[in-house]
Amino acid sequence: MERRAFLFTFFPSLAAAYERFHEIEPTWFEVTHTRIPISGIRPTRILHISDIHISDGMTAPELAVGLEAGLAQRPDLICLTGDYVSVTTGFDRSGLQRLLRGAASAAPTYAVLGNHDSSGHSTQFMRDLVASTGVRLLHNRAAVEQGLTLVGVGDYWSKEFDPACAFTHTDPAAPTLLLCHNPDAKYAVRGHPWNLMLSGHTHGGQARITGLTSLWTPVWDKRFVAGLYTWNNRQLFITRGLGSPMHVRAFCRPEVSILDLAPAPSLAS
């Protein structure tokens, strides 16, 4: 009788957990709003999306729901910080292109690549794909948009990470956003002038079950996993990501990050 009671209790609980973590949370997109003061800028709304990981359990129509929720916030600028796929073969190429074109048609869109966006030892395939959609890829390059300097670097784990090249010819006095997939790279770029670094890569932990260590924290500096941080008199924002590899999330909803940049108050005020 005790065994039967245990089975009747355990299996419905297991089924409910599966329903929540596999079916509900991966498509339960959370639109978050974060105000970030930066000296010398005019008010700017940024949609920050990372870690789409299309076709690793998430379909393009599912991901489009999250993207559209972000576009409904009417961003002035869109920043994408890598890992559009989990592998560069056998994924929904046309679905990814539709997502990226949707972003680029709504607002100026800038992007960098992540650690999954390479085929063998080359990122050329994904670089060409992203560029073909109207998204401007900042692969160790910089651009100026709406009074902001945007600097993008290759993935920190790749041989294409070249911040010295990316920051060439940038104005050190200009307000600067750095797009970098992996937040651990902050140490490697601290010698360059930037105010705010936008990153993903961590998935926010993806599975945050009380009493268990998160399965997805692929960074060595685990103080910086999700949200806004101050570091070395600069700011770092890490989004939890739009996608959910293996279609799994546990108490860590996929995030559509809205960043409202605002002028920092002067010392005189």
CATH class of 2-263: alpha beta
CB proximity list for 168: less than 8 A, separation 6 or greater: 142
- Band (pLDDT 50/70/90 cuts) for residue 8 is very low
Range name among 24-28, 47-51, 85-89 with the lowest pLDDT average: 85-89
Kindly state the helix (H) or strand (E) to which residue 37 belongs, with its residue range: strand 30-38
Contacts by 167-173 with C-beta closer than 8 Å and gap 24+? 167/142, 167/192, 167/193, 168/142, 169/142, 170/142
Helix axes 124-131, 93-106, angle to 10 degrees: 50
Residue 237: DSSP 8-state:
E
pTM recorded for the entire structure? 0.92
Cα–Cα distance for residue pair 183/207, rounded to 1 Å: 19
- Band (pLDDT 50/70/90 cuts) for residue 20 is confident
Residue 184: DSSP 8-state:
G
The pLDDT tens digits of the residues spanning 121-164 come to 789 999 999 999 999 999 999 999 999 999 999 999 999 999 99
The pLDDT tens digits of the residues spanning 68-124 come to 999 999 999 999 999 999 998 889 999 999 999 999 999 999 999 999 999 877 899
The pLDDT tens digits of the residues spanning 163-209 come to 999 999 999 999 999 999 999 999 999 999 999 999 999 999 998 87
